[in-house]
Amino acid sequence: MDIQSLTSEFLPIALMILVGGLVLISFMLVVARRYKRCPSNRVLVVYGRTSTGRSSKCIHGGGVFVWPLIQNFEYLSLDPVQIEIPLQGALSIENIRVNVPSVFTVAIGTDEETMNNAAVRLLGLQTTAVIKQAEDIIFGQLRQVIASMRIDEINRDRDKFLSKIQDSLEPELKKIGLVLINVNIKDITDESGYIEAIGKKAASEAIQQAEIDVAMQVKKGAIGVAEADRDRVIEVSNNEKLRDIGTKSAERERAVKIAELEKERAIGEQTAQFERDAKVRDAQRAMRIQVAAADAEAVTGENKSKADMAASNASLKVREAEAYQLSETRLREAQAAVLEAQYLAQARAAEAQAKKIEAEKRAELEALARAVKSQVIIEAEAQAERQRIEAQAEAAAMYARLEAQARGEYEMLAKKGEGLRAIIQACGGAEQAFQMLMLEKMEELSKTAATAISNVKFDKVVVWDGGVGKDGRNATTNFLHSLAGSLPPMMQMMSEVGGVKMPEYFGKLVTENPPAPSSAEGSDAATTPAAKAEAPKA
């Protein structure tokens, strides 16, 4: 069998083996490419035909084989997302609008139910779309939580507020596959300034309490310093007293001991002097006896020498006495000088100690005065702050009271205006309404006028009747006519001087030209005008 025949026989087998190997390698590559591993920061979503009968299967960690043609896959990121919630004007349970800007951190959950919800509702969405869905849910739930709480609870108990937010928000976020990681409330404010007022009140109370505590501590410190100073002064005085007593006792014992020693020395010296004088006298006597026995003739010389010797002895004793007196005097002076120096040193030390104590007391008193001054200043500032707060509260109350009073007066004037407008409409015009109101007030005006002239006292009214005049009237008739004629000028005066225009139905003033005077009446009658008042018309 030649090589060509062998090649022709084994070539199809080789080709089949090669094709089979290539198919096997391709299958293995396909299997390797379709086996998907899920990283820890993602969720692998396999959708299509799944063995569980659901629309998708979620895997977090590990790997799974994705069948080609009947299955496909996508990843959901587990990276947290921060959502800014600028909530403005949310109504609390007290109907006060609250601003709660906050930041919510959410992410896709890793438990099976949350991952399935995320696969159903968030798969394939952009991050902005996911944030939009979460924002709508957070806004609604946050408003609901704020509407169930009072402002002071929201501001004071943040833990309770956050707990309510989590309890209300987590079930809603779980429905779309998200979990709440963190809530950061930036600030809580309200449009009415209630929270700020609460903060100012708390700050003022804290400042006042701190000032009171400082003043109390300063007071206790001053009391402690004063007590310590008192104890120190008492103890120093007691020690100084004991020291002075000990010093005086030692000085007295020393002086007594020195006096005793001086006495013993003086007695010893005197005794020695006496013994020495006795020996001298014995020697002199023996010498005189020997001299008298040896030389009886030298009596005169011996007596003279005895006299000289006696004089010499007397001089010696006088000198010894003077020397003893001088030595005693110098010793006493030296002792006195030593005691004087000691007493002067003690006095200077005591004076220095007193000056030191006085300086310390002065410094302590100055410190106590400064502390008291500081306490008085603090109390004055606290009193001023308290008065300022009370004045502000009183001003606010007064403003509210005046505002309420102004509103009441405004309402009264408005109602009165409406009533006057209704009266004018009912009467058919302002003039008719004025007439009607004047008729209602006539009785009151009459009473007022009667009261005004009721106190005028007339003793009597005398009218002299001189008979019938030229015009056919007597004096009484002229008086009544003049009194009735004076009424129109009064009405004119009220109109011109008082500025009050009387209605026409009260009557009006007319003037008539008088008839030409006759020659018999004279020139005086011609120059006198006559005014006639028209009677009021009903």
Question: What domain range includes position 45?
Answer: 31-50+57-71
Q: Could you give the CA distance from residue 198 to residue 156 in angstroms, rounded to a whole number?
A: 10
Instruction: Determine the pLDDT at residue 503.
Output: 54
Instruction: Say whether both 66 and 86 belong to one domain.
Output: no
Model pLDDT for residues 116-125, shown as the tens digit of each residue: 888 888 888 8
Give domain status of residue 226, yes or no.
yes
Model pLDDT for residues 252-264, shown as the tens digit of each residue: 888 888 888 888 8
Give domain status of residue 439, yes or no.
no
The arithmetic mean of pLDDT across residues 516-525, rounded, is 42
Instruction: Determine the pLDDT at residue 197.
Output: 72
Domains in the chain, number: 3
**Is residue 79 a contact partner of residue 71, using CB atoms and an 8 Å limit?**
no
Instruction: Say whether both 46 and 83 belong to one domain.
Output: no
Instruction: Say whether both 230 and 299 belong to one domain.
Output: yes
pLDDT at 411 over 50: yes
Band of pLDDT at residue 518, cut at 50, 70 and 90: very low
Model pLDDT for residues 426-441, shown as the tens digit of each residue: 888 877 777 777 777 7
Give domain status of residue 315, yes or no.
yes
Report the predicted TM-score, pTM, of the whole model to 2 decimal places: 0.36
Share of the chain above pLDDT 90, in %: 2
Give domain status of residue 222, yes or no.
yes
Give domain status of residue 117, yes or no.
yes
Q: Could you give the CA distance from residue 132 to residue 138 in angstroms, rounded to a whole number?
A: 10
Q: Answer positive or negative: Cα dihedral of 231, 233, 235, 238.
A: negative
pLDDT at 104 over 90: yes
pLDDT at 525 over 50: no
Instruction: Say whether both 64 and 105 belong to one domain.
Output: no
Band of pLDDT at residue 285, cut at 50, 70 and 90: confident
More confident residue, 301 or 170: 170
pLDDT at 530 over 50: no
Instruction: Say whether both 166 and 263 belong to one domain.
Output: no
Model pLDDT for residues 33-74, shown as the tens digit of each residue: 777 778 778 888 888 776 666 777 888 877 776 777 777 778
Q: Residues with Cβ < 8 Å from 466, sequence gap 6 or more? A: 474, 475
**Is residue 30 a contact partner of residue 65, using CB atoms and an 8 Å limit?**
no
**Among 120-134, 210-224, 495-509, which is the least confidently predicted range?**
495-509
Model pLDDT for residues 78-89, shown as the tens digit of each residue: 889 899 988 888
Band of pLDDT at residue 517, cut at 50, 70 and 90: very low
Instruction: Say whether both 215 and 337 belong to one domain.
Output: yes
Give domain status of residue 138, yes or no.
yes
Task: Write b or e for each residue in 301-324: b if 16 or more Cβ atoms lie within 10 A of its Cβ, otherwise e.
Answer: ebeeeeeeeeeeeeeeeeeeeeee
Band of pLDDT at residue 292, cut at 50, 70 and 90: low
Instruction: Say whether both 41 and 164 belong to one domain.
Output: no
Band of pLDDT at residue 103, cut at 50, 70 and 90: very high
Q: Could you give the CA distance from residue 160 to residue 350 in angstroms, rounded to a whole number?
A: 72
Instruction: Say whether both 139 and 83 belong to one domain.
Output: yes
Instruction: Determine the pLDDT at residue 496.
Output: 47
Instruction: Say whether both 249 and 214 belong to one domain.
Output: yes
Q: Could you give the CA distance from residue 76 to residue 351 in angstroms, rounded to a whole number?
A: 95
More confident residue, 69 or 403: 403
pLDDT at 25 over 90: no
Instruction: Say whether both 149 and 223 belong to one domain.
Output: no
The helix/strand/coil state of 294 is helix
Instruction: Determine the pLDDT at residue 458.
Output: 53
Band of pLDDT at residue 502, cut at 50, 70 and 90: low
Model pLDDT for residues 189-245, shown as the tens digit of each residue: 877 777 777 767 777 777 888 888 888 888 888 888 888 888 888 988 888 888 888
Give me the chain's average pLDDT, please. 76
More confident residue, 189 or 301: 189
